[in-house]
Structure 1
C-alpha cells in the first residue's frame, strides 16, 4: 500500500492485491469496489488505484514453483514475505515480489542474492523480482 498525506486526515492511496487467476472481470470489479468502500469507511483513505497480482491456481507445475521459490526466499531472516508470484509457462517468465525488513544491513545485496538463487533454481526462466522495503 502507498499512502499520500494531504493534511490532517486527508489520505489518498493505492494498493496491490493478489487474486486467483480464475476470477472474472465482474468478480474483480465487485472486489475492488468493496475494498475501496471498506478502506474509506474504516480509515478515511480514498483509494485511487487497486493493482492486481494473478495467483496461479490452474497448473500444478506453477504451484510447485511457487512453493519452491517461497521456501528459497523465506530462508533469509531479513525477508518478511513473498507476494505477487506468477509464472507464465509459455513465455518462461517468473515474477515475484519480496518484502525486505527495513533494518536489513544491505537490502540491495540481499535482493540480488535472492534473485540469483531463484534464477539458479529455474535457469530456463527469466526471473523478475521486485524488492519492496518494509517502511
Structure 2
C-alpha cells in the first residue's frame, strides 16, 4: 500500500498567500477547497489537489484584479506615464513619410512648439495628440505632392 503524500509547507504558503492577496476569508477559502477538490480540510490535501486549488485561486485572482476599480491616484499615475515606445516609433515613421514628401520636419521641434518639451518627455495622452496632428500634416503634405 502506498503512503499518501502530505501537503508541503510551500503549497500551504502559496494557498494562504493567494487567499490573503484577494482578501478571501478563511471560511470562503474552505468553501473553495470543498468546491474544487471535495476536501473538508486544507491540511489534508495531496500535492495534486493543492495544485487544483491554487489554479482556482489564480482564476479568482484574475477576476479580482479585472473587476477592481482603479482609484483616483492610479488613474492619475497612468495619465502621467511617459509616452510608449510604440508611440515613438509611430511618430518617427510618420515624420519619415513627411520628409519623403519633400517637407523639412523635426519631431522634437514640433513637440517643443506644441508642448514646450521634447517628445521623449511627453505623457501618453500628449504623445497621442501629437501623433494625431502628425497624421493630419502627413495627409496634407502627401496631398500636395
TM-score (norm 1): 0.22
Higher strand share: 1
TM-score (norm 2): 0.21
- Which structure's CA Rg is the greater one? 2
